[in-house]
């Protein structure tokens, strides 16, 4: 019997018609996916798209979403942005994009009727979106508001207290938009609110705290009640006194007072025009006598359980 010797060469694989069809379909899918990924990356995952999404989140007052565009950004100003006093940017127009690995996007917008401009730097995100797309993140140099006051008082922004991290420095990192800075709600002190349109960089808000007009009237009424008590009791803190016995006091003229906020933040009461009082009684030797005198008044005003309280000195 003649034996056939096996060929040392491997015969090339010849795909079947079905295998050819499968290969063609898989190749087409890969090409389509690659093209789609390229299109998505070039059209939707762009610096411009990131900036538009960021301002869109601000228009919705969605701080969490806005912060997601900025790596390491805080949501501490969420209540401030959700306030009705916050005015979000409108009519946003994304302009030229410059740079390579680090991009800078020029953007213009309005805050109310005030036109504003900003240049926003962006960089590539480290992580991929859906495992395919490498998006863009805004750099975290947010606008800031430096708040200063002529006297140390508590302040608020858009009717909300400062976040804990800004209470000592009085420097508040904010998102673009309009903010209203004022003295914190207080029955004694207020200020003219200061509106700040923050687009970029550092912005200042200078407050001039002052005594409320109705607080001045309330303090004046308390002082008169206090002096009436001095007439009937003549306690040690009263601004007038006498050595005669069986004293009977009469206030002829009430003093006019000035209520002011000093540099330490305390509210001081001082005399603008002196008052006058008359006392009658028994003098040396048992004789009836009387005496008239002028007097000053000083003290401070504090807020006690939400109410004003005059404290004489």
Residue given tokens 């036109």 in the structure block: 115
Distance CA(193)–CA(156), nearest Å, equals: 10
Query: How much is the pTM?
Result: 0.76
Bridge-based pairing of strands 144-149 and 202-207 is parallel
Cα dihedral sign, 172-303-311-253:
positive
Q: How many CB atoms lie within 10 A of CB 84?
A: 8
Say whether 20 sits in a helix, a strand or coil. helix
How buried is 66 (Cβ within 10 angstroms: 0-12 exposed, 13-18 middle, 19+ buried)? Answer: buried
Tens of each residue's pLDDT in the chain, 313 residues:
455 555 555 556 566 666 555 555 554 444 444 433 333 344 446 889 999 999 999 999 999 999 999 877 889 999 999 999 999 999 999 998 888 778 899 999 999 999 999 999 988 877 655 444 568 888 877 899 999 998 889 999 999 999 999 999 999 999 999 999 999 998 999 999 999 999 989 999 999 999 988 898 999 999 999 998 888 875 667 888 888 888 888 999 999 999 998 888 889 999 999 999 999 988 877 788 888 999 999 999 998 888 889 999 8
Q: Which pLDDT belongs to residue 36? A: 38
Q: Are 93 and 108 in contact (CB under 8 A)?
A: yes
Strands 256-261 and 267-273, sheet pairing: antiparallel
- Rounded CA-CA distance 214/258 in Å is 13
Tell me what pLDDT residue 34 has: 41
What whole-number distance in Å separates Cα of residue 310 and Cα of residue 306? 13
pLDDT at 17: 64
For residue 231, what pLDDT is reported?
85
What are the structure tokens assigned to 127, written together?
């992580």
- Strand, coil or helix: 146: strand
- Which pLDDT score, from 0 to 100, does residue 12 have? 61
Q: In sequence order, what E strands does the chain have?
A: 90-99, 102-111, 114-124, 136-138, 144-149, 155-157, 160-161, 171-173, 177-183, 189-190, 194-198, 202-207, 210-211, 245-253, 256-261, 267-273, 275-282, 288-295, 299-304, 307-312
Q: For position 42, what pLDDT does the model report?
A: 43
- pLDDT at position 30 is 43
Distance of CA 259 to the CA centre of its chain: 29
The answer to whether residues 187 and 306 touch, using CB atoms and an 8 Å cutoff, is: yes
Taking CB atoms within 8 Å and a gap of at least 24, the contacts of 39-47 are: 40/132, 40/133, 41/133, 41/134, 45/129, 45/133, 45/134, 45/135, 45/136, 46/136, 47/97, 47/103, 47/105, 47/122, 47/136
Which pair of tokens denotes residue 119? 């240049």
Supply the DSSP symbol for 57: H
Residue 193: HSE in the Cβ half-sphere, 13 Å Cα cutoff: 13
Note the pLDDT of residue 79: 96
Task: Tokens for 114, please give them.
Answer: 């005030």
Residue 89: CA atoms inside 13 Å, Cβ hemisphere, count? 28
């Amino acid at each position: 019997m003649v034996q056939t010797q096996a060929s040392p060469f491997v015969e090339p694989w010849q795909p079947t018609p079905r295998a050819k069809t499968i290969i063609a379909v898989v190749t087409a899918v890969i090409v389509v996916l690659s093209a789609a990924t390229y299109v998505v990356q070039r059209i939707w995952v762009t610096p411009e798209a990131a900036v538009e999404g960021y301002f869109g989140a601000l228009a919705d007052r969605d701080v969490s979403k806005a912060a997601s565009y900025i790596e390491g950004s805080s949501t501490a100003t969420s209540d401030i942005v959700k306030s009705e006093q916050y005015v979000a940017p409108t009519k946003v127009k994304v302009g030229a994009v410059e740079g390579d690995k680090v991009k800078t996007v020029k953007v213009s917008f309005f805050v109310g009727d005030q036109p504003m401009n900003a240049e926003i730097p962006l960089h590539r995100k480290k992580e991929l979106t859906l495992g395919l797309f490498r998006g863009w993140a805004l750099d975290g140099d947010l606008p800031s508001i430096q708040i200063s006051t002529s006297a140390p008082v508590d302040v608020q922004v858009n009717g909300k207290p400062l976040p804990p991290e800004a209470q000592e420095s009085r420097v508040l990192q904010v998102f673009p938009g309009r903010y209203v800075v004022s003295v914190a709600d207080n029955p004694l002190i207020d200020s003219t609110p200061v509106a700040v349109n923050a687009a970029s960089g550092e912005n200042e808000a200078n407050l001039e705290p002052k005594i409320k007009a109705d607080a001045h009237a309330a303090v004046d009424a308390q002082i008169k009640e206090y002096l009436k008590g001095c007439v009937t009791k003549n306690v040690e803190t009263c601004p007038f006194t006498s050595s005669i016995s069986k004293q009977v006091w009469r206030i002829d003229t009430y003093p006019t007072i000035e209520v002011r906020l000093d540099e330490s933040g305390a509210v001081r009461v001082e005399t603008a025009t002196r008052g006058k009082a008359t006392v009658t009684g028994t003098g040396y030797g048992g004789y009836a006598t009387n005496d008239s005198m002028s007097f000053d008044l000083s003290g401070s005003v504090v807020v006690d359980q939400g109410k004003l309280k005059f404290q004489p000195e």
